[in-house]
Structures are given as structure tokens and as C-alpha cells.
Structure 1
Amino acid sequence: MVSVFSVDDPVFNDEIMGLIVFKAGLQDPNHKLSSWNEDDYTPCNWEGVKCDSSNNRVISIVLDGFSLSGHIDRGLLRLQFLQTLSLSGNNFTGFINPDFPKLGNLQVVDFSHNNLKGSIPEGFFQQCGSLKTVNFAKNNLTVVEFPRILVVA
């Protein structure tokens, strides 16, 4: 099966812009994200990005231990098919965006071992109904009350 990317596809272009906006707010001293280029219309080939083979939508971003710093930017909110967001072991700062629960397909979130602060947005776990795994360990986050159905390991 041959995958065809259309630069005229507004959702696909929105995903590329979301990734580029996210990257623009980061410091990447080891140039791990050098493949993230707005002129490349195939983000599925970008470092740390995985796409669904049936529709070429971004479903996973895994940037663990990339020595990145900056904020977890709103650009990621454009990735409406995102299932996994793993940014562990970097130096992300700031707050967790209260709009992350709008990513309705999100199943895995790992922001562990960063320097995030504040509290986990109210209703985060209830609104992200598809969440299966969450890791916020080793940050400066305020403890929140977890829903009863959530198992914390």
C-alpha cells in the first residue's frame, strides 16, 4: 500500500504547524529535532514522531531524554489523533496546559523527570477519558486528588 500525503489536507497541515510551533519554543542543544522541518511534509519520518499507517496522522511523540528545555507548548493541541505523548527526562518548565484534556485520543502521558510546576489542571483525569497511563513523577507539581478508578503505580 502506498501512502499519499496531501499538502492541501488542512488537518495534516495543522499537525505539521503544531509540531513546528512546539519545536520553536524549545531549546534543543543536541539537535535531536533537526529532522523537524516545516518544508518536509512527512512528519512521520521526523525523530520521535510516529504516525498511524492507515491515515498518516501523528499518533505518538516520544522525546524521552533528548535534553530539551522550554515549555510544553499549545502547538501540541493541534495533534487531534495523538495517543502517546512522552517527554520524560528533559528540562521542561512551566505549567501543564489546562487544554490538554481536549486531546480526546490521548492514552499515554509521561512528563516525568522534568521541572514542571503548579498543579495538574482540575478535571484533567475525568476529561481525558481515554487515558491509560500517566506519569508526572519527579516534577514540582502540587498533589491532586486522583479519581478512584485511577491506579497509581
Structure 2
Amino acid sequence: MTRLTPLYCQLRAASSCPFAARQRSQVAPAADLTEEIFTNARPYSEVPGPRPIPILGNTWRMVPIIGQYDISEFAKVTKLFLDKYGRIVRLGGLIGRPDLLFVYDADEIERIYRREGPTPFRPSMPCLVKYKSEVRKDFFGDLPGVVGV
């Protein structure tokens, strides 16, 4: 059986390999960084967002006339969330729906997608389905978008 050679340069003290200096790198191992991230992580209950009221939760906020958010202007609603609550926003208390988590930071989005496992749970948000398929069909057409909503 033939022995396979690694695709990376072998590290030697006096090597001309451009990656030879990596053995002296000051970068912490990935396991240590992951451990540090989880150690410093805040609980999910502390993620900012609109506070739900008893029985109605946050569903009332999306209802026409009485709600404070106009669902036909959903891009403006998400901008309001970003401005008021920050880069990660939780919209909980939607009747019959799990909490929605809005992430406005590309680095955090990458971490989420890389750690979600082999069977991710990404439920669609009914108001976004309506927005894309009816309100802004002229823009989206039959395309659902990058993320399944």
C-alpha cells in the first residue's frame, strides 16, 4: 500500500516553505478558542428583543392597525430591530411559532451555520413568506431567497 503524503508543507526549522513559520505562531488552538467562546457566552434568555405580553406575546405587534410594525415594510422593521436592540435580536412569543432570531453580523452568521449540525431546524416565518410571495412578488418572483423563509 502506498503511503499518502500530506498536502501541507512539512515544518522544519530551516525550511523554504512559506508555511514554516506557522510552527512559531502565537495563535491559540481552535479548541481553546471554542472553549473560550462558550465560557463567555451569555444565556439565550438575555438576547435582546421586544418583550412579549401575556397571552398575546409579540404577535400583536405584527397585526395591522393595532400593531406597531407594518409587516408590508419588513425591511424597515428589521432595520428598527437592528437600531434598537443591536446585532442579535430575539422575537419571541409568536403564537404557535418558535422564537425568531435575527442576526445582523456576518461573522456570527458564519459561526451559526458552521455549528448547526447535520439536520438544521430553519422554520419559515409566515409573514416573510407572504411578503416575498405576494407583497414583493415583483422583486422576488418565484425565488425563495438565499435562506429558506
TM over 0.5: no
Larger radius of gyration: 2
- Identify the TM-score tier after normalising by the shorter chain: under 0.3
More helix per residue: 2
More strand per residue: 1
Question: TM-score of the superposition, structure 2-length normalised?
Answer: 0.27
Question: TM-score of the superposition, structure 1-length normalised?
Answer: 0.27
